[in-house]
């Protein structure tokens, strides 16, 4: 979408288990996003990142889009949409091509990426992202941008992310029901990483862990490139559910208690610290020791990080993460999360949230909105990649795209 001032207007819709967040932004200067429209609506009909009730999900999405349109004054016709859920899988692949003219051009890169996609993918899955990592030209590896180099044989290392076709189509259908076309689906942790990672962390080796309501999303970056992605079907809602069972509360009450009194480390709570809650079947509120609440939370959070550790080990990159973990997502707001993550994983951990935002940002300065804001950065990169509007000055700092990589950006993304 363009506006009269010809600065790109970008739109992202983050469809999560707990909320749908539609953002409309204008890009100003080099790193600044001016948020023009915000539409935040509680999610209905979505569990663990998957649509379980089409009509309810469509209504939530339509309401969120409508709010964003009303606050921004723009009509939304297309948007980038976030994707999560345990149906997402990834594989690393290589593509090899011969260079006919002796000098590598864009077509050779495109052919190599196409060759890398020739992996056996079941018929019920579709490719969401093909992300180039590095190139090998005539045996020389670690090449970032091969265009213009001399060579006879080129290999590309690519990270291919696939998702269940039916789930993706259901999501597309819900967004289209609100009159909006999906420009591209973006995996949650990739969107979050765009906002929370520094270039140094990407180079050193880091894992992004986005803990939402229904899913925990991981992405491992090494040498500036994406090496591994994974979505686990556990999240903040499981903690709420445990509190509801343990203290015999309704889900809404449990969520409220978690947000107000929750802590992820039992030993950090004073022994005589009590809170009052109204359990099922009780006339008057009852006193509950806050340590009991922390005990319930700690058990579940520890389990989530054990699963994360297991996944990092399974990827084989656990020794390559000196920058540790960047924790984001709504559940990372729980006090004690950072310290517990650090002790379970044995890595340095920091909690991150979106920065460099102006405009309607009151609610957005929170880790819960990292994916939502990250989608805007992806939308910007896609608009940068269109040869019709080469606006390099709007690239967020920390994303080093030279001319050739801008041309290749779409090829890097499109299946």
Report how far residue 370's alpha carbon sits from residue 207's, in angstroms, rounded to the nearest whole number: 15
What pLDDT is stored for residue 31 in this prediction? 67
What pLDDT is stored for residue 398 in this prediction? 33
Asked if the structure places residue 309 within a domain, the reply is no
291-315 pLDDT, tens per residue? 999 999 999 999 999 999 999 999 9
Asked if the structure places residue 285 within a domain, the reply is yes
Where does a domain end: 162, 193, 211? 162
Report how far residue 7's alpha carbon sits from residue 297's, in angstroms, rounded to the nearest whole number: 46
What pLDDT is stored for residue 71 in this prediction? 95
pLDDT at 232 over 80: yes
Go through the chain and tell me how many residues it has. 415
User: In CATH, what number is assigned to the domain containing residue 125?
Assistant: 3.30.1490.110
Asked if the structure places residue 62 within a domain, the reply is no
Asked if the structure places residue 356 within a domain, the reply is no
User: In CATH, what number is assigned to the domain containing residue 244?
Assistant: 3.30.420.40
48-80 pLDDT, tens per residue? 989 999 999 999 999 999 999 999 999 999 999
Report how far residue 353's alpha carbon sits from residue 362's, in angstroms, rounded to the nearest whole number: 13
Q: Do 171 and 54 form a contact (C-beta atoms < 8 A)?
A: no
250-298 pLDDT, tens per residue? 999 999 999 999 999 999 999 999 999 988 877 888 899 999 999 999 9
8-37 pLDDT, tens per residue? 899 999 999 999 999 999 988 766 789 999
Average pLDDT over residues 379-403: 46
Taking only Cα atoms into account, the Rg of the chain, rounded to an integer number of angstroms, comes to 22
237-251 pLDDT, tens per residue? 999 999 999 999 999
Where does a domain end: 138, 162, 186? 162
Strands, E assignment, 63-120 = 78-83, 89-98
Give the residue, 133 or 5, on which the prediction is more confident: 133
Where does a domain end: 135, 162, 189? 162
Asked if the structure places residue 266 within a domain, the reply is yes
Q: Per the structure, how many domains does the chain have?
A: 2
Helix (H) or strand (E) holding 385: helix 370-385
Identify the CA nearest to 320 among candidates 328, 311, 312.
312
Asked if the structure places residue 148 within a domain, the reply is yes
What pLDDT is stored for residue 6 in this prediction? 62
pTM for the full predicted model: 0.88
Report how far residue 237's alpha carbon sits from residue 43's, in angstroms, rounded to the nearest whole number: 13
Q: At 385, is the pLDDT very low, low, confident or very high (cuts 50, 70, 90)? A: low
Long-range (24+ apart) CB contacts under 8 A made by 54-62 are: 54/170, 54/173, 54/174, 57/15, 57/174, 58/173, 58/174, 58/177, 58/178, 60/20, 61/13, 61/15, 61/20, 61/174, 61/175, 61/177, 61/178, 62/177, 62/178
- Kindly report the backbone phi and psi dihedral angles of residue 38, in degrees, each rounded to the nearest multiple of 5, phi listed first: -130, 130
Asked if the structure places residue 212 within a domain, the reply is no
Average pLDDT over residues 345-360: 92
Asked if the structure places residue 250 within a domain, the reply is yes
Helix (H) or strand (E) holding 353: none
Chain CA centroid to CA 23, Å = 15
What pLDDT is stored for residue 122 in this prediction? 86
- Show the tokens assigned to 50: 């998957």
Range of the domain at 254: 236-300
Angle at 366 between CA 225 and CA 249, to 5 degrees: 115
87-98 pLDDT, tens per residue? 999 999 999 999
- Beta bridge partner(s), residue 97: 154
């Amino acid at each position: 979408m363009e506006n009269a001032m010809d600065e790109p207007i970008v739109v992202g819709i983050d469809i999560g288990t707990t909320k749908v967040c539609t953002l409309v932004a204008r890009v100003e200067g080099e790193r600044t996003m001016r948020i023009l429209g915000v539409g935040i609506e509680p999610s209905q009909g979505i569990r663990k990142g998957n649509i379980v009730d089409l009509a309810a999900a469509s209504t939530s999405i339509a309401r969120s889009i409508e709010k964003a349109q009303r606050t921004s004054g723009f009509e939304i016709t297309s948007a980038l949409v976030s994707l999560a859920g345990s149906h997402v899988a990834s594989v690393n692949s290589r593509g090899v091509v011969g260079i006919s003219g002796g000098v590598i051009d864009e077509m050779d890169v495109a052919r190599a990426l196409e060759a890398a996609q020739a992996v056996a993918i079941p018929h019920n899955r579709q490719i969401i992202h093909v992300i180039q990592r590095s190139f090998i030209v005539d045996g020389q590896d670690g090449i970032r941008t091969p265009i213009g180099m001399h060579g006879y044989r080129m290999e590309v290392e690519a990270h291919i992310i696939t998702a269940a076709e039916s789930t993706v189509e259901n999501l597309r259908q819900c967004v289209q029901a609100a009159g909006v076309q999906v420009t591209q689906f973006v995996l949650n942790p990739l969107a979050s990483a765009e906002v929370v990672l520094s270039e140094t962390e990407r180079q050193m080796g880091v894992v992004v862990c986005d803990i939402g309501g229904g899913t925990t999303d991981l992405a491992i970056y090494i040498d500036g490139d994406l090496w591994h992605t994974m979505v686990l079907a556990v999240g903040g809602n499981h903690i709420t559910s445990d509190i509801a069972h343990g203290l015999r509360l309704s889900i809404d009450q449990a969520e409220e208690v978690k947000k107000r009194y929750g802590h992820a480390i039992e030993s950090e709570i004073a022994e005589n610290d009590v809170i009052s809650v109204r359990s099922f079947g009780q006339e008057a509120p009852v006193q509950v020791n806050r340590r009991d609440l922390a005990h319930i939370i700690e058990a579940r959070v520890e389990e989530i990080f054990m699963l994360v550790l297991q996944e990092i080990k399974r990827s084989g990159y656990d020794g390559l993460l000196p920058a540790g973990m960047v924790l984001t997502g709504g559940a990372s707001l729980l006090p004690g999360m950072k310290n517990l993550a650090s002790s379970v994983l044995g890595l340095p951990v920091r909690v991150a949230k979106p920065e460099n935002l102006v405009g309607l940002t009151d609610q957005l300065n929170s880790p819960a909105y990292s994916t939502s804001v990250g989608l805007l950065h992806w939308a910007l990169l896609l608009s940068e990649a269109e040869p019709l509007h080469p606006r390099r000055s709007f690239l967020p700092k920390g994303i080093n795209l030279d001319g050739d990589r801008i041309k290749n950006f779409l090829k890097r993304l499109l299946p």
